[in-house]
Amino acid sequence: MTTEQNNPISFEFFPTKTDAGHEKLIAAAHVIAAEKPEFFSVTYGAGGSTRDRTVNTVLQLDQEVKIPTAPHLSCVGDAKEDLRSLLNQYREAGIKRIVALRGDLPSGMGQASGELRYANELVEFIRNETGDHFTIEVAAYPEAHPQARHFEADLENFIRKARAGADSAITQYFFNADCYFHFVERVRKAGVDIPIIPGIMPITNYTKLARFSDSCGAEIPRWIRKQLEAYGDDSASIAGFGTEVISHMCERLLDGGAPGLHFYTLNQAEPSLAVWRNLGRS
């Protein structure tokens, strides 16, 4: 697969609970940095449960690995003063990009708590507090958020986030390019023109992928499920098949106008880079 077009790429990491895990994360980031990504992002646990680890990881990736890094920031369970403090800390450290999310509800919490309940309110808060200092990314769900009442309601939620001041969006991962193109078409018809970057999940472990996909509402097409099931514990065949399937999907997305790709690394370099190199666009 080759093309003359260059497309920006970015990569997501999650803060680890152990020093050994953190060392592996930083090592993977150094490998990925050679591809000159546009930015890294770092997730933020439910209810701010990884706040300190997120901050430390963001600053290390940004200042030591020297790739611009965007912290995820969620509003569930956080007071405005806590959010204000984090924003000031990031701004003073030279961070220029934020991924603004409602955030996952902590286990046992039936509904959102805190002074801000929805991502569009968080986007508006960031704009009011910091002006245009941050490039603000928001989430998009081409197959609809798993807690959405229906697709139309989820589309309205996304439009509210965009109009609150978001600069661009990163999608939940998916395995069907048509759902991405349909989502973008609907958004454009609504008059929203911010870039919508596909989120890409490499396939390396079927059992974990199936469990996670079921919980976050990402559909694995039946033919992919059946092929992965057929490989059983053959991890090499799963990885090879996964690279091929995801590479073809990414090729179609980029050829269809997607403005870039955002890889969910799971703190590993090779699965994402195997796809990127397979595209021949590096």
DSSP for 255-267, written as a single string:
HTT---EEEE-TT
Instruction: Note whether 97 and 39 are within 8 A (CB).
Output: yes
DSSP for 174-212, written as a single string:
-S-HHHHHHHHHHHHHTT----EEEEE-----HHHHHHH
Return the number of other C-beta atoms located less than 10 Å from residue 13's C-beta.
24
Catalytic residue among 4, 12, 92, 229: 12
| Angle ∠(181,218,254) on CA atoms, nearest 5 | 35
User: Phi-psi region for residue 47, left (φ > 0), alpha (ψ -120 to 50) or beta?
Assistant: left
- The question of whether 12 is a catalytic residue gets the answer yes
Instruction: Note whether 239 and 207 are within 8 A (CB).
Output: no
Look-up of token digits 């996909």: 213
Cα dihedral 100, 102, 105, 106 sign = positive
Q: Where are the alpha helices (DSSP H) in the chain?
A: 19-33, 51-60, 80-92, 119-130, 151-163, 177-189, 206-216, 222-231, 235-255, 270-279
Distance CA 190, CA 216 (A): 25
What b/e readout covers 189-221, taking b as 16+ CB neighbours within 10 angstroms?
eeebebebbbbbbbbbbbeebeeebeeebbebe
Q: Is 12 helix (H, G, I), strand (E, B) or coil?
A: strand
The catalytic residues are: 12
